[in-house]
Amino acid sequence: MKYKTLLTTLENGILTVTVNRPNALNALNADVFSDLDDVFSNYAPSIDNLVGVIITGSGEKAFVAGADIKEFSSIDAKGAENLAKRGQGIFDKIENFNRPVIAAVNGFALGGGCELSMACHIRIAGEKARFGQPEVNLGLTPGYSGTQRLVRYIGKAKALELLLTADMIKADEALRLGLVNYVVPVGEEVAKATELLTKIGTKAPFAVSKVIECVNAYYTDEDGQNKEAVAFGECAATEDFVEGVSAFIEKRTANFTGK
């Protein structure tokens, strides 16, 4: 699939999406948002036997270094609110996508870039990755749910510190705080993400999608326990459940078909 600001590759059921604006440190602009929206609304859902998605950035310096500030120069209050709501909506699509989405963070993940990484289900950081929400330096708050997801991942006190000081943190600190799942040598971010998705790809696809739904329900007004119970019942009605139980009893590897 061809996009204006993204490169995409599909191999063994894994879709890799690369934000491709290296001269702008992969900054998020209107075109990037439109392209990401199409990937998660149309392209990725249309892929048969999709295992998951990896999002990364082009070049060695940045995953996504933030929003494209040039687009803010003439914006008014209502325009800024609408811009934030559009970004939030697209990032929500990523968070609620029914296959795992992994951020392979290969450099700066600042502002909107940090928010994009947090919308993904899992984050892999290269050793030179840097995370931060520097919006107060511009007289702004984060706009794409940064104040919400950062608290979710690292807790209120530390999130407030980073949001109010605009400090960046290194990959090892992000790991210690629980913001990322793994820190790997530079250049191995996508490989680690691929390794994880390959492992997840051996599991029952419907069950994987329901796990994502149930975990996300914890952070909404939904009754997460009820959703889990319903999902448990839905999974029990699948052919993959029968196969999984049979394989366990017969001490063999399950052959899941997604049915």
Enumerate the active-site residues. 115, 135
Question: What are the angstrom distances between the C-alpha of 248 and each of 152, 242, 244, 245, 255?
Answer: 35, 10, 6, 5, 11
Residue 200 near residue 193 (C-beta atoms within 8 A): no
Dihedral sign (CA 11, 124, 5, 89)? positive
- Taking every pair of Cα atoms in the chain, the longest distance, rounded to a whole number of angstroms, is 66
Pairing, β 108-110 against β 101-105:
unpaired
How many secondary structure helices (H) and strands (E) does the chain include?
10, 10
Residue 7 near residue 18 (C-beta atoms within 8 A): yes
Q: Report the amino acid identity of residue 50.
A: L
CA distance 125 to 186: 8
Residue 195 near residue 226 (C-beta atoms within 8 A): no
105: closest CA among 67, 153, 168, 56? Answer: 56
Pairing, β 169-170 against β 130-132:
antiparallel
